[in-house]
Amino acid sequence: MDFWKVGLLSLLCAASAFAIGAVELGRHQPTERISGSAGDVLEDDPVGRLKVFVYELPSKYNKKILQKDPRCLNHMFAAEIFMHRFLLSSPVRTLNPEEADWFYTPVYTTCDLTPNGLPLPFKSPRMMRSAIQLISSNWPYWNRTEGADHFFVTPHDFGACFHYQEEKAIERGILPLLQRATLVQTFGQRNHVCLKEGSITIPPYAPPQKMHTHLIPEKTPRSIFVYFRGLFYDVGNDPEGGYYARGARAAVWENFKDNPLFDISTEHPTTYYEDMQRAVFCLCPLGWAPWSPRLVEAVVFGCIPVIIADDIVLPFADAIPWEEIGVFVDEKDVPQLDTILTSIPPEVILRKQRLLANPSMKQAMLFPQPAQPGDAFHQVLNGLARKLPHDRSVFLKPGEKALNWTAGPVGDLKPW
Amino acid sequence: MKLSALQQSYLNRRSNSFRGSLPLDSSAACCIVSVVIGFRFSRLVFLFLFSAASLGGEISALLVVHSALATASPIAKSVSAACPPANRTAAGSRVVVGRHGIRVRPWPHPNPEEVMRAHRIIERIQREQRMLFGVKKPKMVIAVTPTQVRTFQKLHLSSVMHSLMLVPYDVVWIVVEAGRVTNETASIIAKSGLRTIHVGFNHRMTISWSDRHKLEAMMRLHALRIVRKERLDGIVIFADDSNMHRCSFCWNSCSFRKLEWAGFVLNSKLLWKDLDDKPEWIKDLEVFDGVDDIESPLYLLGDTSVVEPLGSCGRQVLLWWLRVEARTDSKFPAQ
């Protein structure tokens, strides 16, 4: 009697183990090692190199918001939720804040959605400010560094500027209370007020399970030269064009809509993922913000990303040599896209494909449930670990103040 | 022809919405609205702007959009001129925020040389894919085609020729012509660029269908004798000139319940005379000397249990029979 129960339990455990293994995206193809400016670090193991303390906040900052609108689990900003869940069960978590290297505040700032499922950013600064006030009142660790050993996940369009329109985001700037903290964000553009030095740029969330179910055999010939599905004009927000994507997407359409080498359209087919696996180049132009999940999809499906976003800072840029993997095209050069892509020597293209085929490369783009070695969660931890030990300037002297708690727009100072 | 991008954008609802009401700060109203809507607007729009506070954000936005579409006046220029110039993202940055021109080059048509370069890139990538994931040591394909001069010969023979030209492996094409070798047939297959063996078979093609089938079977056997004599090493396929082939047929072959010659594939070494380890279940070709009643390629085998399907048998149609012929007294138009 009990013997059979034990047997059944073992069988279930074995099945579970197989299920986990099935999510692996590594496939059998010759690849090259990936080395970025930080070295060959994609497969580093952060366990033992850092300890993270997770603040426990009232559920109105995280869980309760998600209960109200579970769509936040599926959209491209979902990394803020999954990072929280990952840290709660990660071996790098410590329950003793005295031994922590980093402090994490679980606040979901992109989970206030419109009926269409787009995040409303207008109250996000107040929400974040309220969370910081809470941790600085209830724990001593914020005040001793004023946030310099804290990290926040701010995956919105322009990160901690908390707006989807660039001019408004620039006018607002990064929330002043976060000026000493490390920001983990999808937005990355050099010399931009919304990207602070020392930030960790992450991929947007793209659902790993869903992508895995659309894999096709690797021998399927790549017969599409250039592939893109998405908007060219944002008629609702920019009827005349020129603001959306800084005009780059409209330029793609106007120059190449009748070019047989370009498979481009706004119609998303059911075979979108399959088609990416039959394409050589996938266009990754900026939208309202420079980044999009399209980059993740291109990497996972081995389609060489063509980055059209001036001065973009791509995910984990110190671990991944994006110049060797993708093709960077200036926004002003969009009209010459066909000349640029056809003039790349085939051997260079094949090398980019070999780098893309590296399983570590694909793994680093994903936030799988449960977490796996080398995934985006671990890349964030590796990035935080590379910042250790903290500089002496992190810890303030007694009486020293660096933050101005009343800085920023007046509207942001209202209670949340 | 694709729909215009604007039409497609309207059909696509993913982004066609505002993300909520914007605060109407009076000091920056014109800049905010010009950023959002991107229009030079008229006096009429001001009326909607100042009454927007009493309406929902999206409703007022739609009103503004429609009215802006309807009217434009010289006042718009002076109003938009009052807005400050586009901002830069930071000191030293080359990226400019705000409206950008949509760059369109004067002559957007593709350059034929670049198109050819793209196709060469694709061909190179696909060759690499076959090297990595395809057959490691692909065998030569030995294609056997019985044919005869007739009205529709060029139509059918060109079709099978084009299929063979696309096969990314070595191909030897054995063309067995009823009667004798003719210039008409030779001029067709000469365009293939393939290695060809063009031989005659000293029987004229008959009129009745059943007699044609018998004669074609004998012609195929004649080709198999050539394979043996020349000791060709590869995979024999029977590419009748009235068949349509998918390229992947040369990778996958299925056996059918009623086995047509065109669905049958075998290793050419089985036909060699002095093969050392020749299996017992294959009959020697000499058995068929003088025989004129071979209905199926299964006659070549002493034991049909060795026949097996290849690939994902039954999932894909790899071959069609397109037995279209003209009346025997017709002529193709002069060329």
- pLDDT at position B308 is 65
| Position with higher pLDDT, B209 vs A326 | A326
Does residue A74 sit at the B interface (CB-CB below 8 Å)? Answer: no
Q: Which chain A residues have a beta carbon less than 8 Å from that of B89?
A: 166, 170, 189, 191-193
**Phi/psi at A327 (nearest 5 deg)?**
-120, 125
Per-residue pLDDT at B275 exceeds 50: yes
Determine, for residues B129 and A342 on separate chains, whether the beta-carbon distance falls below 8 Å: no
Handedness of CA A322, A326, A327, A329 (dihedral sign): negative
- Is A304 exposed, middle or buried, given 0-12, 13-18 or 19+ CB atoms closer than 10 A? buried
- Tell me the average pLDDT of chain A: 91
Which two tokens mark A274? 């399959």
- Name, in order, each residue with C-beta under 8 angstroms of A316's C-beta and a sequence gap of 6 or more: A36, A200, A201, A202, A364, A376, A379, A383
Residue A221 identity: P
Confidence of residue A193 (pLDDT cuts 50, 70, 90): very high
Residue A135's region, left for phi above 0, alpha for psi from -120 to 50, else beta, is: alpha
Determine, for residues B101 and A335 on separate chains, whether the beta-carbon distance falls below 8 Å: no
Residue B68 lies in a domain: no
| Position with higher pLDDT, A237 vs B331 | A237
Chain A, 344-383: which have a CB under 8 Å from a chain B CB? Answer: 344, 346, 349-350, 353
Provide the total of helices (H) and of strands (E) in chain A, helices listed first: 15, 10
- pLDDT at position A96 is 96
- pLDDT at position A164 is 87
- Name, in order, each residue with C-beta under 8 angstroms of B132's C-beta and a sequence gap of 6 or more: A29, A30, A218, A219
Which two tokens mark A64? 């309760």
A135 three-class SS: helix
Cα(A364)–Cα(A296) distance, integer angstroms: 9
Q: The CATH number of the domain where B147 resides is what?
A: 3.90.550.10
Per-residue pLDDT at B33 exceeds 90: no
User: Testing the interface with A: which of B95, B105, B130, B166 to mutate, by most A Cβ within 10 A?
Assistant: B95
- pLDDT at position B2 is 44
Q: Which chain B residues have a beta carbon less than 8 Å from that of A227?
A: none
Looking at the partner chain, which of B20, B115, B121 has a beta carbon nearest the beta carbon of A114? Answer: B20
Which two tokens mark A38? 């930080």
Ranges of beta strands (E only) in A28-153 are 52-54, 102-104, 150-153
Determine, for residues A339 and B108 on separate chains, whether the beta-carbon distance falls below 8 Å: no
User: Structural domain tally of chain B?
Assistant: 1
Please write the tens of the pLDDT for every residue from A1-14: 444 444 344 344 43
Cα(B52)–Cα(B35) distance, integer angstroms: 17
Alpha carbon of B221: minimum distance to chain A alpha carbons (Å): 35
According to CATH, what is the number of the domain A207-363? 3.40.50.2000
Of A289-293, B22-26, B79-83, least confident by mean pLDDT is B79-83
Measured between alpha carbons, how far is residue A168 from residues A137, A158, A387, B226 in Å? Answer: 31, 10, 31, 80
- Is B138 exposed, middle or buried, given 0-12, 13-18 or 19+ CB atoms closer than 10 A? middle
Confidence of residue B316 (pLDDT cuts 50, 70, 90): low
Per-residue pLDDT at B67 exceeds 80: no
| Position with higher pLDDT, A71 vs B299 | A71
pLDDT above 70 as % of chain B: 60
Residue B109 lies in a domain: no
| Position with higher pLDDT, B320 vs B252 | B320
Element (H, E) at A308: strand A304-308
Per-residue pLDDT at A301 exceeds 70: yes
Pairing of strands A327-328, A304-308: parallel
Q: Which chain B residues have a beta carbon less than 8 Å from that of A254?
A: 5, 102, 104, 108
Determine, for residues B103 and A335 on separate chains, whether the beta-carbon distance falls below 8 Å: yes
Give buried/exposed letters for A363-398 (b at 16+ CB in 10 A, else e). bbbbbbeebbebbbbbbbbbbbbbbeeeeeeeebee
Residue with tokens 């992190």: A394
DSSP annotation of A392: G
User: Testing the interface with B: which of A29, A238, A344 to mutate, by most B Cβ within 10 A?
Assistant: A238
Residue B227 lies in a domain: yes
Ranges of beta strands (E only) in A111-206 are 150-153, 182-185, 200-201
Preceding peptide of A208 cis, ω within 30°: no
Cα(B186)–Cα(B200) distance, integer angstroms: 11
Identify whether the C-beta of residue A362 lies closer than 8 Å to the C-beta of residue A218: no
In the Cβ-directed half-sphere of B205, how many Cα atoms lie within 13 Å? 19
For A104-109, what is the mean pLDDT? 97
CB pairs < 8 Å spanning A and B:
202
Please write the tens of the pLDDT for every residue from A50-100: 999 999 999 999 999 999 999 999 999 999 999 999 999 999 999 999 999
Residue B166 lies in a domain: yes
Confidence of residue B94 (pLDDT cuts 50, 70, 90): confident
Measured between alpha carbons, how far is residue B229 from residues B238, B268, B272, B285, B299 in Å? Answer: 18, 11, 8, 11, 20
- pLDDT at position A173 is 94
Of A13-22, A174-183, B119-128, least confident by mean pLDDT is A13-22
Looking at the partner chain, which of A247, A311, A339 has a beta carbon nearest the beta carbon of B100? Answer: A247
For B248-255, what is the mean pLDDT? 51
For A274-281, what is the mean pLDDT? 98
Chain A, 118-157: which have a CB under 8 Å from a chain B CB? Answer: 118-122
Q: In what order do the strands lie in the sheet with A182-185?
A: A52-54, A102-104, A150-153, A182-185, A200-201
Identify whether the C-beta of residue B184 lies closer than 8 Å to the C-beta of residue B305: no
Residue B44 lies in a domain: no
For A231-249, what is the mean pLDDT? 91
Cα(B264)–Cα(B251) distance, integer angstroms: 13
- Residues paired with residue B319 on neighbouring β-strands, in sequence order: B245
Determine, for residues A339 and B114 on separate chains, whether the beta-carbon distance falls below 8 Å: yes
Which two tokens mark A236? 């609702």
Residue B231 lies in a domain: yes
Cα(A154)–Cα(A162) distance, integer angstroms: 8
Determine, for residues B13 and A116 on separate chains, whether the beta-carbon distance falls below 8 Å: yes
Q: Which domain holds residue B157?
A: 140-321
Cα(B221)–Cα(B295) distance, integer angstroms: 12
| Position with higher pLDDT, A231 vs B54 | A231
- pLDDT at position B1 is 40
Does residue A260 sit at the B interface (CB-CB below 8 Å)? Answer: yes
Per-residue pLDDT at B57 exceeds 80: no
pLDDT above 70 as % of chain A: 93
Q: Which of B300, B291, B296 minimizes the C-alpha distance to B224?
A: B300
| First and final C-alpha spacing in chain A | 58
Q: Which of A196, A192, A181, A175 minimizes the C-alpha distance to A407?
A: A175
For A390-407, what is the mean pLDDT? 90
- pLDDT at position B299 is 76
Of B30-39, B101-110, B112-121, B196-205, least confident by mean pLDDT is B30-39
Q: Between the ranges B28-32, B232-236, B273-277, where is the mean pLDDT highest?
A: B232-236
Determine, for residues B99 and A239 on separate chains, whether the beta-carbon distance falls below 8 Å: no
Confidence of residue B320 (pLDDT cuts 50, 70, 90): low
Residue B36 lies in a domain: no
Residue B242 lies in a domain: yes
Domain boundaries, chain A: 50-204+371-388, 207-363
Give buried/exposed letters for B211-233 (b at 16+ CB in 10 A, else e). ebebbbbbbbbbbbebbbeeebe
Does residue B85 sit at the A interface (CB-CB below 8 Å)? Answer: no
| Position with higher pLDDT, A237 vs A201 | A201
Determine, for residues B110 and A260 on separate chains, whether the beta-carbon distance falls below 8 Å: yes
- pLDDT at position B50 is 38
